[in-house]
């Protein structure tokens, strides 16, 4: 049988690249190499049956599993068998073997694809968020989810965590630094933790952490605005708070100022947590859904100074039968007052960039130390900062309970004094009106 093409060489076969459409390279004598758009190289042979007909070409194997020399031998065997009338059984076996090879390759490709998806930043970050959620406060989880879903996944979500490098992350962080500096800092922190997640899952080596420390440009960090060195301004803030027209928001702002609990904890306060007779607020460390209520996840008790009890007794009368101390306002969908309502109130009062509800904590930490001489350990215990070890934690709970009661009453009296310097109405009259 005359050749219809020049024979192929191993070099030609190795250099054959994938194209947009499948194409064939002929070796002559009915043997061809088919190259798919995915780059798979398959041997195909044409043959003639005893009756002279030519069935569809037969797949006999894949390169490089079957070499050029082996393909030529196998093609000759099939053509000989077909010409002698023994093609049916042999060709069925060839077809079965080729189908088995095809299935095995498809399965291997599917497995590799699934592995790549499982190792993508999209998947790893999802598992990281799921593991962290039970130990995080709701606001912490919300912020992490925002950064991951809105910034990281759209930009690098399909990247393989097994091979992710610092250079892959840098453009994303620099773009965020130019647009949202605070979120860029969080994103850098989250990426480091997601890489740790990949290491813990065995996707990366222990030493393969990214170099992110000095990647972001320097800028002034944005601590929560707080008055820590201007008693006159703090007095103005407290007077404005007591004059705020919305009674529910006003009461929540006062409680946040007097107890320095985080605004989210204040806004979600429940009546079963508060003992007006004992003057205590026992805050569960965890929410019913398993998420953190306190940042540490530990139960916490704070005393309630006399001024706070006055406010709470008023709210008790106004919310009789309600589970929450501060009911939702307007169109709020939550079962209790939104924490953002407290921040908005201070902005509306003209203190944007000067003080926030969370800033009360910094005010106590600084002014309580400098003006009232409160011991640092007592302040840290009242702020519910996590102690360094279990012994210290137990010591703080036992040693400072009564001391903190004295301190919080002193803090409330101190704030009263700052308000009084501006000739305001006494606190009890203020709340009752």
Task: Answer for the pair 178, 219: CB distance below 8 angstroms, yes or no.
Answer: no
pLDDT, average across residues 12-38:
88
The DSSP-derived string for 322-368 is -SBSS---TT--SSS--HHHHHHHHHHTT-TTT--TTHHHHHHHHHH
Domain count, the chain: 3
Averaging pLDDT over each range in 71-80, 109-118, 228-237, 264-273, which range is the top one? 264-273
Are 161 and 87 part of one and the same domain?
no
Predicted confidence (pLDDT) per residue in 64-112, tens digit? 888 888 888 888 888 887 777 665 444 555 556 556 656 666 776 777 7
User: What whole-number distance in Å separates Cα of residue 346 and Cα of residue 339?
Assistant: 12
* 224 occurs within a structural domain: no
Are 255 and 399 part of one and the same domain?
yes
Are 306 and 354 part of one and the same domain?
yes
Predicted confidence (pLDDT) per residue in 288-304, tens digit? 877 788 888 888 999 99
Residue 143: which residues within 8 A CB-CB, separation 6 or more? 186
Q: In 3-state terms, what secondary structure has residue 35?
A: strand
Question: b/e string for 57-80 if b means 16 or more Cβ within 10 A?
Answer: bbbbbbbeebebeebbebbeebbe
- Residue ending a domain, choose from 112, 144, 176: 112
Are 167 and 235 part of one and the same domain?
no
* 161 occurs within a structural domain: yes
pLDDT at 4: 53
User: What whole-number distance in Å separates Cα of residue 388 and Cα of residue 381?
Assistant: 12
* 336 occurs within a structural domain: yes
Question: In Å, what is the CA distance from 265 to each residue of 208, 227, 307?
Answer: 39, 21, 19
* 383 occurs within a structural domain: yes
The DSSP-derived string for 394-430 is HHHHHHSHHHHHHHHHHHHHHHHHHHHTTTPPPHHHH
pLDDT bin (cut points 50, 70, 90) of residue 230 is confident
pLDDT at 255: 95
Task: Answer for the pair 356, 363: CB distance below 8 angstroms, yes or no.
Answer: no
Residue 177: which residues within 8 A CB-CB, separation 6 or more? 184, 216, 217, 219
Read off the CATH number of the domain in which 350 is found. 1.10.443.10
Mean confidence (pLDDT) of the chain: 83
**pLDDT higher than threshold 80 for residue 20:** yes
User: Could you tell me which residue, 221 or 181, shows the higher pLDDT?
Assistant: 181
Number of helices (H), then strands (E), belonging to the chain: the values are 18, 7
- Residue ending a domain, choose from 52, 87, 112: 112
- Residue ending a domain, choose from 61, 94, 112: 112
Are 319 and 388 part of one and the same domain?
yes
Question: b/e string for 139-154 if b means 16 or more Cβ within 10 A?
Answer: ebbebbeebbeebbbe
The sheet carrying 58-63 orders its strands as: 23-28, 31-35, 41-45, 58-63
Q: In 3-state terms, what secondary structure has residue 286?
A: strand
Read off the CATH number of the domain in which 61 is found. 3.30.160.390
pLDDT at 269: 94
Say if strands 41-45 and 58-63 run parallel, antiparallel, or are unpaired.
Answer: antiparallel
Are 378 and 252 part of one and the same domain?
yes
Are 153 and 261 part of one and the same domain?
no
**pLDDT higher than threshold 90 for residue 392:** no
Q: In 3-state terms, what secondary structure has residue 24?
A: strand
Question: How many C-beta atoms surround the C-beta of residue 416 within 10 A?
Answer: 18
Are 146 and 75 part of one and the same domain?
no
Phi-psi category of residue 151: left, alpha or beta, with phi > 0 → left and psi -120 to 50 → alpha = alpha
Averaging pLDDT over each range in 111-120, 180-189, 275-284, which range is the top one? 275-284
pLDDT at 157: 93
User: What whole-number distance in Å separates Cα of residue 225 and Cα of residue 333?
Assistant: 28
**pLDDT higher than threshold 50 for residue 186:** yes
**pLDDT higher than threshold 60 for residue 28:** yes
Averaging pLDDT over each range in 212-221, 228-237, 241-250, which range is the top one? 241-250
What is the 8-class DSSP label of residue 16?
-
What is the helix (H) or strand (E) element at residue 301, kind and residue range? strand 300-303
**pLDDT higher than threshold 50 for residue 426:** no
Task: Answer for the pair 226, 362: CB distance below 8 angstroms, yes or no.
Answer: yes
pLDDT bin (cut points 50, 70, 90) of residue 432 is very low
Read off the CATH number of the domain in which 152 is found. 1.10.150.130
What is the 8-class DSSP label of residue 120?
B
Predicted confidence (pLDDT) per residue in 147-185, tens digit? 999 999 999 999 999 999 999 999 999 998 888 787 888
* 328 occurs within a structural domain: yes
* 322 occurs within a structural domain: yes
- Is the pTM for the entire model greater than 0.85? no
User: What whole-number distance in Å separates Cα of residue 42 and Cα of residue 22?
Assistant: 11
Are 290 and 391 part of one and the same domain?
yes
For residue 310, what are the domain limits?
A: 231-432
* 208 occurs within a structural domain: no
Alpha helices in 10-86 (DSSP H): 10-15, 68-83
pLDDT at 425: 38
* 267 occurs within a structural domain: yes
Are 303 and 335 part of one and the same domain?
yes
Least confident of 49-58, 330-339, 347-356: 49-58
pLDDT at 388: 53
% of the chain at pLDDT higher than 70: 86
Selection from 218, 209, 223, 146 nearest residue 183 by Cα: 146
Question: In Å, what is the CA distance from 156 to each residue of 145, 165, 197, 404?
Answer: 15, 11, 16, 48
What is the 8-class DSSP label of residue 152?
I
Are 237 and 177 part of one and the same domain?
no
Are 103 and 134 part of one and the same domain?
no
Q: In 3-state terms, what secondary structure has residue 58?
A: strand
Task: Answer for the pair 323, 234: CB distance below 8 angstroms, yes or no.
Answer: no
Residue 358: which residues within 8 A CB-CB, separation 6 or more? 224, 226, 262, 263
pLDDT, average across residues 370-397:
71
pLDDT at 237: 92
**pLDDT higher than threshold 50 for residue 428:** no
Q: In 3-state terms, what secondary structure has residue 85?
A: coil
């Amino acid at each position: 049988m005359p050749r219809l093409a020049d024979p192929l060489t191993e070099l030609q076969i190795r250099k054959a690249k994938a194209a947009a459409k499948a194409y064939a390279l002929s070796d002559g004598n009915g043997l061809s190499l088919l190259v798919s758009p995915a780059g798979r190289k398959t041997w195909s042979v044409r043959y003639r049956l005893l009756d002279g007909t030519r069935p569809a070409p037969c797949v006999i194997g894949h390169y490089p599993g079957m070499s050029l020399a082996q393909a030529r031998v196998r093609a000759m065997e099939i053509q000989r068998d077909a010409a002698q009338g023994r093609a049916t059984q042999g060709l069925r076996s060839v077809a079965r073997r080729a189908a088995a090879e095809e299935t095995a390759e498809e399965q291997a490709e599917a497995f590799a694809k699934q592995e790549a998806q499982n190792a993508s930043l999209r998947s790893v970050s999802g598992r990281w968020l799921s593991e962290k959620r039970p130990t995080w406060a709701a606001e912490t989880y919300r912020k992490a989810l925002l950064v991951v879903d809105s910034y990281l996944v759209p930009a690098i979500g399909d990247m393989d965590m097994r091979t992710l490098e610092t250079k892959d992350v840098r453009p994303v962080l620099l773009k965020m630094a130019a647009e949202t500096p605070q979120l860029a800092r969080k994103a850098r922190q989250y990426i480091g933790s997601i890489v740790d997640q990949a290491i813990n899952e065995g996707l990366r080596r222990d030493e393969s952490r990214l170099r992110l420390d000095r990647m972001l440009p320097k800028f002034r960090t944005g601590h929560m605005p707080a008055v820590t060195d201007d008693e006159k301004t703090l007095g103005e803030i407290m007077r404005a708070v007591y004059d705020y027209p919305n009674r529910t928001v006003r009461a929540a702002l006062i409680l946040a100022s007097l107890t320095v609990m985080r605004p989210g904890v204040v806004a979600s306060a429940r009546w079963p947590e508060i003992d007006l007779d004992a003057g205590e607020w026992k805050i569960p460390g965890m929410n019913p859904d398993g998420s953190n209520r306190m940042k540490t996840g530990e139960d916490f008790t704070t005393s309630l100074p006399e001024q706070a009890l006055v406010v709470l007794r008023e709210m008790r009368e106004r919310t009789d039968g309600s589970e929450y101390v501060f009911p939702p306002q307007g169109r709020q969908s939550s079962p209790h007052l939104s924490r953002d309502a407290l921040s908005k109130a201070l902005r509306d009062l003209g203190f944007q960039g000067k003080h926030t509800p969370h800033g009360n904590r910094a005010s106590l930490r600084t002014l309580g130390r400098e003006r009232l001489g409160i011991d640092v350990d007592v302040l840290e215990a009242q702020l519910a900062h996590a102690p360094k070890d279990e012994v210290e934690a137990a010591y703080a709970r036992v040693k400072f309970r009564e001391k903190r009661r004295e301190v919080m009453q002193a803090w409330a009296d101190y704030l009263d004094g700052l308000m009084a310097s501006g000739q305001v109405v006494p606190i009890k009259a203020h709340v009752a009106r």
